Structure formats: structure tokens, C-alpha cells
Amino acid sequence: MTAHRKPLALPLDSIGAGGWLSLFMAIALLLLASGCATTDGGATPGPIATGWNRICDWSAQTADKVTRLVQDDDYRAEVMASVRSWFSDVGEGLNARSIEQIAAYADEARQLAAWAEQYEALAPYGAWLAARVDYYEAAQEAVERVPAPPTAAPKPAPAPKPLVLPKPPPPKPPQPRGTITVRAARPTLPPPRPSHTPPRVTVPPPTVENKRIEAATQSDYWRRKVATHPLPARANSLVPRMQVIFREEQVPEALVWVAEVESRFNPEARSPAGAAGIFQLMPATARSLGLSTANPDQRLDPEANARAAARYLHRLHKRFGSWPLALAAYNCGQGRVANALKSTGTTSYEGIADRLPLETRMYVPRVLETIRLRTGKAL
């Protein structure tokens, strides 16, 4: 019986430009030193010469690939920096001090989230933004329900031109090569960010502003709002596993539904600020909970992300003593909640709500009403 050797499998996609060159030079020098890289004229090439010809073909393809990688990496970095800044600008709208400023971004946030889903490189950011469109819409609906009183104010500035998002290029027809190439269902890289003027708004009198904020942060509003959302696609497979983890970490299993609010149970969701995973853990928080955030990023593992989130929620509840306060701290940070409690002398979420960011004031009732909807009972 003749023994057959298995062909050498090279992990080509994982080799960098320097690795390609080093590997090629080592093989070439070995073959040249052996004096076996050529054949006699007219003779059938031997196995080493045949191997040498294959290496020559491979090296030519590799040189082209390295050149494309260098050029593509520069362009990719430029485009991604441009588009990430766009997501950051829209995301910063949630940090606005006025409900009108958040409302002004509503149409752009909806369009940008849907547009990002068309591109492989932007899909994680699109998933993050899609989970937050509710806040922009809540602000927009509040502004529409509570109109500002008529005034003799000067004529407002003209509205910015509607945002026109570039469409992805049509797929190129496949080239006949004798091999089958599996092509991505969507383009990898988007075009650069189009020029756009941030929306400008006029803040109404405090009485109107306060009514609008109240309309956007009421539990009744969020009960109706979350009832319009279908169950996220991944919930049926992920929720049972998450519930086991939360019970093991001595946290109410109903809090697994925080993941619907944070990411719609999308493990790949990523924010421009660096949060990642189904519970959107920031890098520093994840590392403090024992997760690696690079090579590999364990936040992208749903179960690892869930266990870290459960431990963090347990820690927050132990510090602040109530789940509304723990959820507020999960959203805007422990320091901000602690400072608000200290300055007001209160111990309840209701006592500090007006000192918290508008997003947090919408986040807490949204989470509580999502839990009520999905479990049939309050937290």
C-alpha cells in the first residue's frame, strides 16, 4: 500500500504582507539552493519543478494581493472614519439638552440605520442605531403633540435640504474562471459620508419643554410604544440561555430583556463610542468584569456578554438599592447617578430623574415596559 501525503494547507487569508514576503523568500531560496527548480529541455517536469511553477504563480498572485491590501486598507480607513463620525454625530443627538434637538435627528436616524444595513462593514453600527431609533421617535412625537405657543419671533432659518443617502453599487457580473466564487450578499464598504448640515432647532419656553419631556418619558407612552415591536429574530434562541446565566448570577431573569433595548439581541451590534455585543458593554466595563476586548473580543460572544452584563447589573443594584436606579446607572454611568442622589438627598429614581440625561429618562421606562410586555409582569 502506498502512503499518501496530505497537501499542505496554508492559512492564506491570515498572513500579512510581511508574512507573505518572508514565506515566499524562504521557499524560493530553498528550491534554488537545491538546484532542482529547473528541468532538462523538453523533459517532463519533475515534482519539484512542478511545485516551483506553482509557487511562481502563487507568488505573482500574492504580490497583486499585497498591493491591493495596502491600497484598500488606506481607503477603507478613510471611509470608515468618515462614516463612523456620521454615526457619532447622530448618536450625540441623544445627549442633547433639549427634546427638540433629539427630535430633529429622527428622520436622519431612521434613514441612516436602514442604509447601514446594506453594507457589511456598517451593519454592526446600523444594528446599534436601529435599537435607538425609538428615542428619536419618542422625542419627535412629543414635539408634535405639544405645540409651541405662537410668538412674534423672527422668521426661522430655512430647513436643511433632505438627506440623500448614496445607494450601494450594483454587483459586478462574475468572471468565468473555472472556479466557483461565493460573493457577499451586500457590498463590504460604503461610499464616504455625504455632506450634510446638522439640524438647527428653536427651544420653546420652559413650560412647553417640560411638557414635551414628560410626554416622551411617561411609562404609559412606552407601554404603547414597545407593544408595536415584534419579537426580535434571535430572542427565541438566546433568551433561554441568557435566563440560565442570569439566575446563576443571582439577577432577575427578566432583565435579559435589557438586550432587546440595547441591541435587539444582535451580538454584532457596535456603537461609535466602542460598546459592543448584545448588552452593549463598553471596553473598560467589560475588562473590569473579566472579558477580553481584543484578539478575541469576548463581548461578541452572547453568553460571555450576558454573564458580564448580569454581574454588572448585580453590582449596580447592590450599590443603589433599586432596579430603576441600577438601570439608569447602566445607561448613563454610576458616577452621574451617585452625584444626582448626593445632590438631591433622595434615594429614588423619581427623585433624580430630572437631573439625568434625556436618553436615560426614556431608557428606564422603555426597559421596564419591555420587560412587562415580554414577561407579562413588572420587574
Backbone angles phi, psi at 276, to 5 degrees: -150, 155
Rounded to an integer, the average pLDDT of 112-133 is 91
Model pLDDT, residue 92: 87
Q: Across the chain, what does the average pLDDT equal? A: 82
Q: For the chain, how big is the Rg over CA atoms in Å?
A: 28
Domains and CATH numbers, the chain: 98-146+203-217 (no CATH), 235-375 (1.10.530.10)
3-class SS at 308?
helix
pLDDT digits (tens, 9 = 90+) for 258-294: 999 999 999 999 999 999 999 999 999 999 999 999 9
Residue 161 pLDDT grade (very low, low, confident, very high; cuts 50, 70, 90): low
Please give the distance of CA 274 from its chain centroid, rounded to a whole number: 8
C-alpha cell at 373: 410586555
- Over pLDDT 70: what percentage of the chain? 69
Q: Sign of dihedral through CA atoms 44, 47, 48, 50?
A: positive
185 vs 222, more confident: 222
270 vs 189, more confident: 270
pLDDT digits (tens, 9 = 90+) for 38-61: 444 555 666 666 656 666 666 566
Q: Closest by alpha carbon to 123, among 181, 79, 188, 39?
A: 188
Determine which of 172-186, 214-228, 245-259 has the lowest per-residue pLDDT on average: 172-186
Look-up: residue for cell 444595513? Answer: 117
Residue 84 pLDDT grade (very low, low, confident, very high; cuts 50, 70, 90): confident
Q: Sign of dihedral through CA atoms 65, 68, 70, 72?
A: negative
pLDDT digits (tens, 9 = 90+) for 4-34: 444 444 444 445 555 555 655 555 555 555 4
